[in-house]
Amino acid sequence: MDNVTFYLMNGLLFSGTAILTIALFPVWKLTKELPPGSARSLWNVLTLMILFFIAGYITYAFVNWRNCSSFSELLVPGVFLGGAVFVLLVCLLSFKTVIDLQRINILEQENISDSLMGIFNRRYLDRRLKEEFLRSQRYNLPLAVLLLDIDRFKMVNDTCGHQIGDLVLKNLAKLILSTVRDIDIVARYGGEEILVIMPNTTATHAAVLAERLRHKIAMEEMATQDEESCHPAITITVSIGVAGFNHGQTTAVDLHTLIKNADKALYQAKNDGRDRVVVIGADS
């Protein structure tokens, strides 16, 4: 009986040690997936604790190498084994959860982002427009939008090709994102049109940013190409329509009217010669 309990005790202990060792692998993988910060530090602490438990299991096995004489003494090694299984399951489930969350996050980003320009798409734009409009009404805050369109963009596509045209769109989106504020929402409105939602901003202040953005775009090289197929440096100009509302103004403006005013302002900018900013709904 002593031999049976001896082998059972050591079998339980070494099985628990092996399971804890296996649990280290998902923990290490999970730690690599996490950015530096408190969460990653806590998982590093868990790694050290698992290593400490492994050392404790081995120490217990050597200390009690020949001291197991009855089945009742297998209780502690059995608990050790159960604890090791529990740790392994928690680590595996945590790792799987993180991977699933990453996959969901990627799908969400793809669902709300424009794959070409790297900004928000029309679906997300419509949702955020409603949210920001309701928020501005609730807290009596101003709201402004910029509607931007590339001047003669068809000429770029026809002359340089659609690949260069796509590159121009990508670089334009990057330039806009680097110019607007963090709280502003930049989204593709349709074709080469881009709409910028500017919360807590009057039309007058939005027009200042629009003018700065227009000038910056005109001075920037958007793409390069061989002289044989196109100009060595491609620059563009944009027309921008600005619309906004304040709760202090006399004329009531709803969301539909706000976007319609921005579209009217853009149309007027095009008719007035392009490469300019037109404002509708400036502060009175």
CA distance 258 to 254: 6
Q: Which of 221, 203, 143, 208 is nearest to 179 (CA)?
A: 208
Q: The tokens 């000038």 sit on which residue?
A: 215
79 token code pair:
């608990």
279 token code pair:
């404002």
162 token code pair:
């659609």
111 token code pair:
């669902």
Choice among 33, 110, 131, 192 that is catalytic: 192
Q: Is 224 helix (H, G, I), strand (E, B) or coil?
A: strand
196 token code pair:
């910028």
CA distance 88 to 106: 27
To the nearest 10 degrees (0 to 180), the angle between helices 122-138 and 75-112 is 90
To the nearest 10 degrees (0 to 180), the angle between helices 75-112 and 2-33 is 20
Task: State the alpha helices, DSSP H only, in 113-202.
Answer: 122-138, 153-160, 162-179
Residue 110 falls in the annotated catalytic set: no
Positions marked catalytic: 192
